[in-house]
Amino acid sequence: MLQGKESLILGIETSCDETSAAVLRGGREVLSNIISSQVEIHRQFGGVVPEVASRRHVENVAVVVNEALAKAGVGLGDLSAVAVTYGPGLVGALLVGVTAGKAIAYAKSIPLIGVHHIAGHIYANFLAGGMEPPLVALVVSGGHTELIFMPEHGKFQFLGRTRDDAAGEAYDKVARSMGLSYPGGPLIDKLAAEGDPEAIVFPRAWLEEGSLDFSFSGLKSAVLNTLHNAEQRGRKLNPSDVAAGFQASVVDVLVEKTVLAVQKTGVNNVVVAGGVAANRGLRARLRERAAVEGFSVMFPPMSLCTDNAAMIAAAAHPLYARGLFHNLDLNAYASLPLTKWEEGPFVSLEK
């Protein structure tokens, strides 16, 4: 049963401000992927309010799950397993999804699979077909900016990570300082396409020679100081040029460190994961460098870059195929290391 290609896995994602449920067949075929976004609610606050997000998840999770099942044309009794994000994220939000997943697993006597949110973002690429491990993953999602070596399914080795602000955080903070609404990343990307990246040149934080770590705190401060100084002097800056200069700095560092990771590992396959994977500037620049350096690069479809449940079900499938599941005492963890997830603890239901 566990190796069957026709497995049906229900995925549930509630780590931040999207309530999502999806049904996957065989670990790759998306039968449904329903996302209820809270962006409009949190925009008035300039960012996600955890308590508000949790309440909305409580209101939405059953509705979203039912809609995902209906669109897929299946019922709870048809499911092979239920997969749910249990960290990292907002703990109150995570608990809603974990509780829903455990309830379904218990009621229908089907396996429960807890999934690491970042692993889910990486596995979003597998839903587009193509690459298989070994590969290097550039993860640029919310508070995460990391380079990860994935030698095989379910195994992860960190090559580099952010030492302070992640790229996504820098985007949102710079956007807020420019008077742009939440979420700021897509707006910066749009403005950058209209600006001159050489008009205002911001610093690049390369850190020590050969380092694969990231640091965007200094860049964020440089942009804020530039905006503040211009305001103090009554000088009007072109917002598109500010955005273009800022984005050029971020993209340069992300791309060049990814190239260095490829050279250090000898791996020729790269996947990009997370919300910033939708950034057009990053996509264009990394594809250009990949062509020059001779490695392959894959981005998830735009619809799978942001938080969604299809990626959670996809990440769960290799565990399902191996017969590795979680007990019903699964809990939510705001800070869940990727290595803790891959190590378990798991239980096997195979006889």
Residues paired with residue 19 on neighbouring β-strands, in sequence order? 36
Helix (H, G, I), strand (E, B) or coil at 22: strand
pTM, 2 dp: 0.92
Residue 153 and residue 316: Cα distance in Å, rounded?
A: 10
Apex CA 256: angle with CA 171 and CA 304, to 5°? 50
**47, 172 contact by CB (below 8 A):** yes
Helix (H, G, I), strand (E, B) or coil at 313: helix
Give the pLDDT of the chain (351 residues) as one tens digit per residue: 344 448 999 999 999 889 999 999 999 999 999 999 776 676 777 777 778 889 999 999 999 999 999 999 999 999 999 999 999 999 999 999 999 999 999 999 999 999 999 999 999 999 988 689 999 999 998 889 999 999 999 899 999 999 999 999 999 999 999 999 888 889 999 999 999 999 999 999 999 999 999 999 999 999 999 999 999 999 999 999 999 999 999 999 999 999 999 999 999 999 999 999 999 999 999 999 999 999 999 999 999 999 999 999 999 999 999 999 999 999 999 999 998 898 888 887 653
pLDDT value at position 349?
65
In the chain, count of helices (H) and strands (E)?
Answer: 11, 12
pLDDT value at position 131?
81
Pairing of strands 81-87, 112-116: parallel
Residue 239 and residue 195: Cα distance in Å, rounded?
A: 8
Edge to edge, the sheet with strand 269-273 lists 157-161, 144-150, 135-141, 269-273, 296-298
**117, 85 contact by CB (below 8 A):** yes
**76, 5 contact by CB (below 8 A):** no
Q: Which residues contact 336 (CB under 8 A, 6 or more apart)?
A: 86, 87, 88, 116, 117
pLDDT value at position 4?
45
Residues paired with residue 85 on neighbouring β-strands, in sequence order? 115
Q: If we measure between CA atoms, which residue out of 100, 102, 110, 83 comes closest to residue 10?
A: 83
Residue 165 and residue 162: Cα distance in Å, rounded?
A: 7
pLDDT value at position 42?
66
**85, 12 contact by CB (below 8 A):** yes
